[in-house]
A and B are shown apart, each in its own frame.
Chain A
Amino acid sequence: AQSVAQPEDQVNVAEGNPLTVKCTYSVSGNPYLFWYVQYPNRGLQFLLKYITGDNLVKGSYGFEAEFNKSQTSFHLKKPSALVSDSALYFCAVRAPGGSYIPTFGRGTSLIVHP
C-alpha cells in the first residue's frame, strides 16, 4: 500500500527566509510525486511533480522540490518566502502499475510572517 507523511501540521517562517515543507512517502516501485497548494475556501492547485529524471523539480510561484530516493522524501522548498505563500500544502503520491488512485498527505499549513 502507498502512503504519504507530512510530519508537520504547521510551518512558520519569516518573509524573505527560505522555507521547507516536508514530505516522505512509501510506495512499491518508482513513485510519481506531487505538491499542491490550497488557499482558503478554494480547490487545490497543482504546484509541481516528479515523474522521472532530474531529482530537483521546479514548479509554479518559485517553488521547487527535491526527490531523494534513499530517504524516500520529496520536500518542498522556496528560497525566499512571501506572505502570499501562506496556505495549506499537500503532498501526494501515486504508484505506476499499482493503484492509480493518488494518496494525499494530511496537509501542512504554511504561515509566512511579515
Chain B
Amino acid sequence: SQTIHQWPATLVQPVGSPLSLECTVEGTSNPNLYWYRQAAGRGLQLLFYSVGIGQISSEVPQNLSASRPQDRQFILSSKKLLLSDSGFYLCAWDRASNTGELFFGEGSRLTVL
C-alpha cells in the first residue's frame, strides 16, 4: 500500500533562518506531488506542484522554493524565513492519471519567531 511521510512534524525557527521540509511517498511511482500551506486552520493555499523529477510549478510568488530530486521525494525550502511563513504545511500526492483523490501527509507545523 502507499504511504506518505512528512517531517519534521513541528518546527520553531527564528526569522531569517533557513527551512527544509521533506516529504516522501512509498508504494507508488511517478506520482504528482503537491505542497500546500494552511493558515489559521482554514483554507488550503497551493504553493508548488510537480509532475516529475526536476519539474516544479509555483503557484504563489514568495520566498519559498521546492525541489524534487527523486521520483518520490519533494522538498520545501527557504533561505530566509519571514514571520508570515508560519503555518501548517501539507504535502500530498496523487496518481499521474489526475482523476482521483489526493493523499495527504500529516503536516508540518512551522512557527517563525
The interface residues of chain B lying within 8 Å CB-to-CB of A106 are 42-43
Q: Does B31 contact A (CB under 8 A)?
A: no
Interface residues in B60-113 (C-beta closer than 8 Å to A): 88, 90, 92, 98-107, 109
* Contact yes or no, B41 A49, CB < 8 A: no
The interface residues of chain B lying within 8 Å CB-to-CB of A105 are 43
Flag A71-114 by CB within 8 Å of B: 1 or 0 each: 00000000000000000101010101000111011110000000
* Contact yes or no, A104 B43, CB < 8 A: yes
Q: Does A43 contact B (CB under 8 A)?
A: yes
* Contact yes or no, A43 B107, CB < 8 A: yes
The interface residues of chain A lying within 8 Å CB-to-CB of B101 are 34, 36, 46, 49
* Contact yes or no, B100 A42, CB < 8 A: no
Interface residues in B18-44 (C-beta closer than 8 Å to A): 32, 41-44
Interchain CA distance A101-B60 in the complex, whole Å: 14
Interface size on A, residues (CB 8 A): 24
The interface residues of chain A lying within 8 Å CB-to-CB of B100 are 32, 49
Interface residues in A9-65 (C-beta closer than 8 Å to B): 32, 34, 36, 40-46, 49, 51
Interchain CA distance A108-B20 in the complex, whole Å: 31
- Residue in chain B with minimal CB distance to A46: B101
Q: With A43-B90, A44-B90, A90-B44 known to touch, is A100 a contact of B106 (CB < 8 Å)?
A: no
Q: How far is the CB of A87 from chain B (nearest CB, A)?
A: 11
**Chain B interface residues (CB < 8 Å from chain A):** 6, 32, 41-44, 46, 49, 88, 90, 92, 98-107, 109
Enumerate the 3 nearest inter-chain pairs by beta-carbon distance, A residue then B residue, closest first: A100-B98, A43-B104, A106-B43
Known: A36-B102, A43-B107. 9 other contacts (CB 8 A): A34-B102, A41-B107, A43-B90, A44-B104, A46-B102, A51-B99, A92-B102, A101-B49, A104-B43
